[in-house]
């Protein structure tokens, strides 16, 4: 497969979250078919869902020769390797990796939707993604990531210290 650029979101709100985000990018970069091109700074955000600690979020641009489904399986393996156990929707987690964009691909399968279906409404994704890929055009809306970011309330997304 010809290498493709893709965008992922990273999140954590248990343990040493910022270290977990850095380590997950290191693990992804060690994969023979993945190269980490760029990653955003870390942002602290209020959680969505049940009461829980704040999240640390970031985004990264990867270059991969993996097919989208293979990349998703790899992301899930990295989550599991970090100790992630899926218990409740939107609950606290050691690591959450979401595949946001894969080139200009639009894909819907039983296990994967690209672009990520809620990306356009999540400031905790759009703020870090716009930092590193503001000119990337969402293939569904035709808007740049920077334009999508302008359309969300980002008051709860602050640069982590």
According to the 3-state scheme, what is the secondary structure of 102-150? ECCCCEECCCCEECCCCHHHCHHHHHHHHHHHCCCECCCCCCEHHHHHH
Residue in the block written with tokens 């955000």: 45
Question: What tokens were used for 28?
Answer: 């992804």
Beta-ladder partners of 98: 9
Report residue 56: phi and psi, to 5°. Answer: -110, 130
Instruction: Kindly state the DSSP code that residue 42 receives in the 8-state scheme.
Output: P
Residues classed as catalytic: 84, 93, 96, 98
Q: Where are the beta strands (DSSP E) in 40-126?
A: 43-45, 55-64, 96-102, 107-108, 113-114
Question: What tokens were used for 65?
Answer: 């020769």
């Amino acid at each position: 497969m010809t290498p493709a650029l893709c965008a992922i979101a990273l999140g954590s709100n248990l343990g040493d979250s910022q270290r977990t985000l850095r380590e997950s990018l290191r693990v992804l970069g060690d994969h023979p078919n993945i190269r980490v091109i760029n990653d955003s700074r870390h942002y602290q955000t209020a959680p969505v869902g049940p009461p829980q600690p704040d999240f640390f979020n970031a985004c990264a641009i990867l270059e991969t020769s993996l097919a989208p489904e293979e990349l998703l399986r790899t992301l899930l393996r990295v989550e599991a390797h970090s100790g992630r156990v899926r218990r409740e929707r939107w609950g606290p987690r050691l690591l959450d990796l979401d595949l946001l964009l894969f080139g200009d691909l639009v894909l819907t399968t039983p296990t994967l939707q690209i672009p990520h279906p809620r990306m356009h409404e999540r400031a905790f994704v759009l703020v870090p993604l716009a930092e590193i890929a503001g000119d990337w055009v969402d293939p569904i809306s035709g808007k740049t990531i920077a334009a999508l970011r302008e359309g969300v309330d980002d008051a709860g997304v602050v640069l982590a210290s």
